[in-house]
Amino acid sequence: MFKKILIANRGEIACRVMRSCRRLGIATVAVYSEADAGAPHVEMADEAVLLGPAAAAESYLVIHRIIEACADTGAEAVHPGYGFLSENTAFAEALDEAGVTFIGPPPKAIAAMGDKIESKKIAAEAGVSTVPGHMGLIEDAEEAARIAAEIGYPVMIKASAGGGGKGMRIARDDQEAREGFRSARSEAKSSFADDRVFVEKFVEEPRHIEIQVLADGQGNCVYLGERECSIQRRHQKVLEEAPSPFLDVATRKAMGEQAVALAQAVGYRSAGTVEFIVDKDRNFYFLEMNTRLQVEHPVTEQVTGLDLVELMIRVAAGEALPFTQDEVRLEGWSLEARVYAEDPSRNFLPSIGRLVRYREPAASETVRIDTGVVEGAEISMFYDPMIAKLVTTGPDRAAAIAEMRRALDAYYIRGIGHNLAFLSALVAHPRFQAGDMTTNFIAEEFPEGHKGSEVAEDLLHRLLAVAALVRRTLALRDAGGRGGLEHYGEWIVVVNDEHHPVTIEEREDHHLVTADGEGIEIEGDWHPGAPLFEGRIAGEVVTVQVDRSGPRLRLTHGGFAVEALVLRPHTAELARRMPKKQPPDLSKYLLSPMPGLLVSLAVAEGQEVKAGQELAVVEAMKMENLLRAEQDGTVAKLHAAPGDSLAVDQKIVEFQ
Active site residues: 288
User: Using only C-alpha atoms, what is the Rg of the chain?
Assistant: 27
Write the CB contacts of 249 (distance below 8 Å, at least 6 apart in sequence).
none
Hey, what amino acid is at 17?
V
CB 389 within 8 A of CB 295: yes
Cα–Cα nearest to 387, from 499, 257, 255, 238: 238
Write the CB contacts of 117 (distance below 8 Å, at least 6 apart in sequence).
135, 136, 137, 160, 196, 198
Write the CB contacts of 139 (distance below 8 Å, at least 6 apart in sequence).
none
Q: Where are the alpha helices (DSSP H) in 410-484?
A: 420-428, 430-433, 441-445, 457-478
CB 468 within 8 A of CB 513: yes
Q: Compute the distance between CA of residue 262 and CA of residue 125 in angstroms, rounded to an integer.
A: 9
Q: Compute the distance between CA of residue 513 and CA of residue 461 in angstroms, rounded to an integer.
A: 9
Pairing between strand 27-33 and 47-52? parallel
Phi and psi dihedrals of 414, rounded to 5? -135, 150
CB 113 within 8 A of CB 266: yes
Cα–Cα nearest to 104, from 90, 116, 87: 87
Phi and psi dihedrals of 647, rounded to 5? -90, 165
Cα–Cα nearest to 240, from 214, 213, 209, 271: 209
Phi and psi dihedrals of 64, rounded to 5? -65, -30
